[in-house]
Amino acid sequence: MSETGAQTGGPLTKVLEVDDVTIRFGGLTALDSVSFDIREGEILGLIGPNGAGKTTCFNVMTGVYQATSGQVLFDGKPLTKLARHKITQLGIARTFQNIRLFRSMTVLENVMVGADAHSKVGFWDALLRTPRHRHTESESTTRAKELLKIVGISARHDELAANLSYGDQRRLEIARAMATGPKLLCLDEPAAGFNPAEKLKLMELIRRVRDEGYTVLLIEHDMRLVMGVTDRIVVLEFGRKIAEGTPAEIRDNPAVIAAYLGVDEEDAS
Ligand SMILES: Nc1ncnc2c1ncn2[C@@H]1O[C@H](COP(=O)(O)OP(=O)(O)OP(=O)(O)O)[C@@H](O)[C@H]1O
């Protein structure tokens, strides 16, 4: 396990802060005064029953939605609603519930696209193939190959993305997101459609990604996976934060048990 501030008691750097965020859609309050933060080097899980507000929260944390009130601070600065490429440039990368890859490009090319989103080389450098562009290109090829190794699919780098198995496509999505060099990597239900053996491998992979120095936000339905891989968990129910803590604390929290069992808090304790 990597040594994060959270685990060593050292100074905590907040990568992202959700500060008293409320989001309303017409008459419906999807998020109600929610506050929590994500600390550098940790894996934070965001969980809750269906309709709890996880996706809405994810969307406000990745600049897709603007809070009705309250704010999200990324790297200490307010995050406003931004175009997707701007969010990537800021340092937030995400994967999607429904895999979004360039299916007719190779595995390596898909990761290189991620690296290009991060690249400082301009249009003219690329068009004229300047030494600066060539240098950057070879650096990003090397880095893309390293990332494919980390996610465990380097042997398939020349294959078309469409030819990968479902599990390997998910791995490729993670590598592509990592290639943008994010300060925060957001995984939206990465285990969707996985069998138990694949879920175990995914847990290993998420830990490996964190140990590489990435900060990870994980939204996931599979409780065992969330409990097994996260450093801290935030629980939402009906748009409110009902608990926050380590997996062990969350497992024993009566409000969380009640939310998942759908019974009164008193009955669950
Ligand atoms: N764009 C929208 N317009 C109107 N209502 C919305 C919108 N997005 C979400 N909602 C509503 O906000 C509430 C929270 O939804 P959200 O999708 O964030 O929950 P969730 O925890 O991600 O649920 P699930 O686990 O089922 O995906 C729900 O009642 C949903 O119907």
pLDDT digits over 225-245, tens only? 999 999 999 999 999 999 999
Residue 56 in contact with ligand 1 by CB distance below 6 A? yes
Q: How far apart are CA 41 and CA 13, in angstroms?
A: 9
- Nearest protein CA to atom 14 of ligand 1, as residue: 53
pLDDT level of residue 124 (50, 70, 90 thresholds):
low
CA of 49 to the centre of ligand 1 (A): 11
What is the DSSP code (8-state) at residue 97?
Answer: S
Task: Say if residue 4's pLDDT is above 70.
Answer: no
Residue carrying the six token digits 């060593």: 8
C-alpha closest to that of 74 among 56, 52, 90, 86: 90
Task: Say if residue 3's pLDDT is above 70.
Answer: no
Indicate the pTM of the whole model: 0.85
pLDDT level of residue 136 (50, 70, 90 thresholds):
low
- Nearest protein CA to atom 29 of ligand 1, as residue: 51
CATH architecture of 1-91+183-269: 3-Layer(aba) Sandwich (3.40)
Q: What residues pair up with 262 in beta bridges, in sequence order?
A: none
What is the DSSP code (8-state) at residue 11?
Answer: P
CA of 57 to the centre of ligand 1 (A): 9
CA of 30 to the centre of ligand 1 (A): 6
Residues 6+ away with beta carbon under 8 Å from 104: 160, 161, 162
φ and ψ at 65, to 5 degrees? Answer: -110, 155
pLDDT of the residue at 263 = 56
Q: What residues pair up with 21 in beta bridges, in sequence order?
A: 34
Nearest atom of ligand 1 to the alpha carbon of 57: 18
Q: Which residue has the higher pLDDT, 238 or 82?
A: 238
Domain ranges of the chain: 1-91+183-269, 107-181
CA of 114 to the centre of ligand 1 (A): 29
Q: Which residue has the higher pLDDT, 108 or 8?
A: 108
